[in-house]
Amino acid sequence: MKAYVCKVCGFISIDGSAPDKCPVCGAPKKAFEEKENAITTPKDANNLTELEKKHVPVVKVVKTCGLIPEGCADVHARIGETLHPVLPEHYINHIDFYVDKKFIARAHLTPEKLNPAAALHLRVKSGKLSVIDLCNLHGAWITEVDL
């Protein structure tokens, strides 16, 4: 999938253009480069390869939040149907969240101490949620779901 990638922090713009300023690190527009294969998508979502099973985010949207019951939906993102490794040599660097192709949050992960997963409490109840993870060895992977 073609996208614009920040050369400073690895943020990926998925709305078809480079932002004037990176929403993660603040780098200027000139820090972005267009990459033809910036994000990997499964070849067949119903028949994942072993590599895809470890890298494609699995997303669950819970419409009723247990922490903030008024107007909140929980989003749980786990990296991999088969849980991704968390080793010093092979790990998930971060998980980025977007609503309607606009960036909303990043979860930074460190190997060995954290599982490859993150959760958000959204005030938004509709739209398309995109979750992108960045594996230090196998690049960026995406899943999109309706809220």
Mean pLDDT of the chain: 95
Rounded CA separation 66/62 (Å): 9
Q: How many helices (DSSP H) and strands (DSSP E) are in the chain?
A: 1, 11
Q: Are residues 72 and 132 in the same domain?
A: yes
CATH number at 25 reads 2.20.28.10
Q: Are residues 88 and 29 in the same domain?
A: no
Q: Are residues 62 and 122 in the same domain?
A: yes
Give the range of the structural domain holding residue 129, as residue numbers without chain letter.
Answer: 41-146
Q: What pLDDT score was predicted for residue 64?
A: 86
* Domain count of the fold of the chain: 2
CATH number at 122 reads 2.60.40.730
- Does the predicted model carry a pTM greater than 0.75? yes
Q: Contact, 79 vs 95, CB < 8 A?
A: yes
Q: Are residues 47 and 74 in the same domain?
A: yes
Burial 51-88 (b: 16+ CB within 10 A, else e): ebebbbbbbeeeeeeeeeeeebbbbebbbbeeebbbee
Q: What pLDDT score was predicted for residue 45?
A: 86
Q: Are residues 60 and 34 in the same domain?
A: no
